[in-house]
């Protein structure tokens, strides 16, 4: 039986994890879930939101499914998500964005993927106060990280027969840092002559994405822009409830939705588990359980086609009712 680390997170995390574990179990696939708690709830007992046992578990299993973890604003501990990605060097954050069956959105034929550098930029953790009225956060962009994420994007485009890789930066303003990212993109692009390239400033990208997202294919960008743009692209296909993601590195992979812990929905049995389920489906493909991935995806799409939705998509189903609806379509 395959062992997979399961971080059930906080906020809506435990509810959507329950749903996804039940659906996978109902598909007939047996997984040995190594459940690891993390986040604000474990600080009191273990002194840290990300205890070493969590990292150890992922290092051993090499694959994890992760629900969101809250990062309180202004409190004195670093984001579990950022720490995890850095500690395991999960350098590529891959966030596909494709129309889903029967989910009505402004645009048809959206099929793009945001590839976000996941280890540095404004997330490097170099932040300090100069005095009471001045604070600085240092934006770190290195050749090594920029080169490997751009290479990842071109490799991805080649593997999935994509036609174009577009780089988004603010190289006009951050001339040195984003300028270095752009330089790496241009250098790597030369090794992939069959893939078209496009360069865009990230503000213009946002404007064009909301006017016509169908012209975009693979997008690669530094960490902060990727964080923001992937919430925007989630909105193009129905919202955060259906936006999947994966953090990938040389030594492991952590699959997680784009959304956060949605404290406003915690404990209400209202969260949409689809984003975590879609992330889990990609995880199953990653561990070569394609048969089960296809089976679960089919059941999820049939549920959408039947117009059975949670409230975020205009439906009436609770999390547990939606889970049962997907399970019913597995049979
Ligand atoms: P959020 O993504 O949790 O919520 C934004 C909005 O989307 C809310 O109205 C929420 O109800 C809705 N939403 C999110 N997921 C949904 C779902 N599955 N079904 C239905 N509606 C859904 O973003 P927010 O409120 O900015 O962040 C909350 C916390 O989550 C923060 O502490 C943040 O740091 C953390 N966070 C954690 C992430 C992770 O663990 N990877 C990623 C993003 C945020």
pLDDT tens figures, 45-55: 998 889 999 99
The answer on pLDDT for 319 being more than 80 is yes
pLDDT digits (tens, 9 = 90+) for 90-130: 999 999 999 999 999 999 999 999 999 999 999 988 999 99
The answer on pLDDT for 274 being more than 80 is yes
Q: Among residues 225, 288, 292, 274, which one has the least CA distance to residue 19? A: 274
Nearest CA residue ID for atom 26, ligand 1: 260
Running DSSP on this structure, what letter comes out for residue 319? Answer: H
| pLDDT recorded at residue 209 | 98
At residue 331 the predicted structure's pLDDT band, cuts being 50, 70 and 90, is confident
Tokens of 139: 């934006």
259 CB less than 6 Å from ligand 1? Answer: yes
Q: Which residue(s) pair with 219 in the sheet? A: 114, 166
Atom in ligand 1 nearest the alpha carbon of residue 271: 19
Tell me whether residue 76 is exposed, middle or buried, using C-beta atoms within 10 angstroms of its C-beta: 0 to 12, 13 to 18, 19 or more: exposed
**How close is the Cα of 258 to the center of ligand 1, in Å?**
8
**How far is the C-alpha of 7 from the C-alpha of 35, rounded, in Å?**
6
Q: What is the average pLDDT score of the chain? A: 96
At residue 75 the predicted structure's pLDDT band, cuts being 50, 70 and 90, is low
At the topology level, CATH places domain 106-236 in Isopropylmalate Dehydrogenase (3.40.718)
The answer on pLDDT for 233 being more than 90 is yes
Tokens of 109: 């034929």
Contact 188, 147 (CB under 8 A): yes
| pLDDT recorded at residue 76 | 66
**How far is the C-alpha of 20 from the C-alpha of 26, rounded, in Å?**
10
The answer on pLDDT for 1 being more than 90 is no
Which carries the bigger pLDDT value, residue 40 or residue 191?
191
The answer on pLDDT for 296 being more than 90 is yes
Percent helix, percent strand, percent coil in the chain, to nearest 5:
45, 20, 35
Contact 38, 69 (CB under 8 A): yes
Atom in ligand 1 nearest the alpha carbon of residue 274: 18
Sign of CA dihedral 246, 252, 254, 258: negative
The answer on pLDDT for 249 being more than 70 is yes
- For the chain, give me the number of helices (H) and strands (E)? 11, 12
Which of 259, 276, 313 is the pocket-test mutation for ligand 1 (most atoms within 8 Å of CB)? Answer: 259
pLDDT digits (tens, 9 = 90+) for 132-183: 999 999 999 999 999 999 999 999 999 999 999 999 999 999 999 999 999 9
Atom in ligand 1 nearest the alpha carbon of residue 9: 40
Atom in ligand 1 nearest the alpha carbon of residue 257: 41
* CATH 3.40.718.10 intervals, the chain: 1-98+239-331, 106-236
At residue 74 the predicted structure's pLDDT band, cuts being 50, 70 and 90, is low
CA 216 to chain centre: 18
**How far is the C-alpha of 272 from the C-alpha of 295, rounded, in Å?**
19
Q: Among residues 241, 207, 247, which one has the least CA distance to residue 227? A: 247
320 CB less than 6 Å from ligand 1? Answer: no
**How far is the C-alpha of 112 from the C-alpha of 162, rounded, in Å?**
9
Atom in ligand 1 nearest the alpha carbon of residue 273: 18
The 3-state DSSP class for residue 308 equals: coil
Which of 95, 240, 258, 316 is the pocket-test mutation for ligand 1 (most atoms within 8 Å of CB)? Answer: 240
Q: Which CATH superfamily is domain 1-98+239-331 in?
A: Isopropylmalate Dehydrogenase (3.40.718.10)
Left, alpha or beta for 149 (phi > 0: left; psi -120 to 50: alpha)? alpha
Which of 14, 38, 40, 68 is the pocket-test mutation for ligand 1 (most atoms within 8 Å of CB)? Answer: 68
At residue 300 the predicted structure's pLDDT band, cuts being 50, 70 and 90, is very high
Nearest CA residue ID for atom 4, ligand 1: 262
Nearest CA residue ID for atom 8, ligand 1: 262
260 CB less than 6 Å from ligand 1? Answer: yes
Running DSSP on this structure, what letter comes out for residue 49? Answer: S
């Amino acid at each position: 039986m395959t062992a997979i680390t399961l971080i059930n997170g906080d906020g809506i995390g435990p509810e959507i994890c329950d749903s996804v574990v039940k659906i996978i179990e109902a598909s007939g696939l047996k997984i040995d879930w190594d459940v690891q708690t993390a986040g604000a709830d474990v600080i009191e007992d273990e002194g840290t939101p990300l205890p070493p046992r969590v990292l150890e578990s992922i290092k051993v299993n090499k694959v994890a499914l992760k629900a969101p973890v809250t990062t309180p604003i202004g409190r004195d501990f670093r984001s579990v998500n950022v720490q995890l990605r850095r500690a395991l060097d999960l350098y590529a954050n891959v966030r596909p964005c494709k129309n889903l069956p029967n989910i009505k959105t402004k645009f048809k034929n959206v099929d793009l993927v945001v590839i976000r550098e996941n280890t540095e930029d404004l997330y490097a953790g170099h932040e300090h106060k100069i005095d009471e009225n001045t604070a600085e956060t240092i934006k770190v962009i290195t050749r090594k990280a920029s080169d490997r994420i751009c290479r990842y994007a071109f490799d991805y485009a080649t593997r999935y027969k994509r036609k174009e890789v577009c780089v988004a930066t603010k190289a006009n303003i951050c001339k040195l840092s984003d300028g270095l990212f752009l330089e790496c993109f241009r250098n790597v692009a030369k090794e992939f002559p069959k893939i078209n390239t496009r360069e865009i400033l990230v503000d213009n990208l946002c404007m064009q994405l909301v006017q016509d997202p169908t012209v975009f294919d693979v997008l690669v960008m530094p960490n902060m822009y990727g964080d923001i743009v992937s919430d925007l692209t989630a909105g193009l296909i129905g919202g955060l409830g259906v936006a999947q993601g994966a953090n990938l590195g040389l030594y492991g992979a952590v699959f997680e939705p784009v959304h956060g812990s949605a404290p406003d929905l915690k404990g209400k049995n209202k969260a949409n588990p689809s984003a975590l389920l879609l992330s889990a489906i990609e995880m199953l493909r990653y561990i070569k359980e394609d048969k089960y991935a296809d089976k679960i995806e089919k059941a999820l799409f049939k549920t959408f086609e039947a117009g059975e939705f949670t409230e975020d998509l205009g439906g009436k189903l609770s999390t547990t009712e939606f889970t049962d609806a997907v399970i019913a379509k597995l049979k």
